[in-house]
């Protein structure tokens, strides 16, 4: 699985509509309204790098109201869920 984190600037009066439209794109798993320099953050999860080109510049960037995007590709995923699962292996009670 390839994960891309996309920061998005949108027209201020269209942020909810832009977020909803982006959330409906295949490959987009989540969209967050955020504070700071960007208005939205989209998590894109695809199985091949070629799909990133289809999802981000091919569809996400073309959503009406999107002004600018900045994309970051994740090398590795660390999450509490993954870490808990990794450290719990073999730690069960024994008879």
60 within 8 A of 22, measured Cβ to Cβ: yes
Rounded to whole angstroms, how far apart are CA atoms 50 and 77? 20
Tell me the domains of the chain and their CATH numbers. Answer: 2-89 (3.30.70.920)
Q: Tokens 């409906």 correspond to what residue?
A: 24
- Tell me which DSSP letter residue 59 carries: T
Q: Which of 74, 66, 52 is nearest to 8 (CA)?
A: 66
Give bridge partners of residue 42 from the DSSP assignment: 6, 31
Q: What's the confidence (pLDDT) of residue 29?
A: 97
The continuous run of DSSP H or E covering 33 comes out as: strand 28-33
Side-chain-side CA neighbours of 58 within 13 Å: the count stands at 11
Q: Which residues of the chain have pLDDT under 70?
A: 80-95
């Amino acid at each position: 699985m390839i994960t891309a984190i996309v920061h998005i600037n949108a027209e201020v009066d269209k942020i909810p509509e832009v977020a909803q439209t982006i959330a409906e794109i295949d490959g987009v798993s989540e969209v967050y309204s955020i504070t700071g320099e960007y208005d939205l953050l989209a998590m894109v999860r695809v199985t091949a790098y070629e799909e990133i080109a289809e999802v981000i510049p091919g569809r996400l960037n073309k959503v009406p109201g999107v002004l600018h995007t900045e994309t970051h590709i994740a090398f590795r995923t660390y999450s509490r869920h993954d870490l808990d699962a990794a450290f719990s292996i073999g730690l069960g009670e024994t008879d």
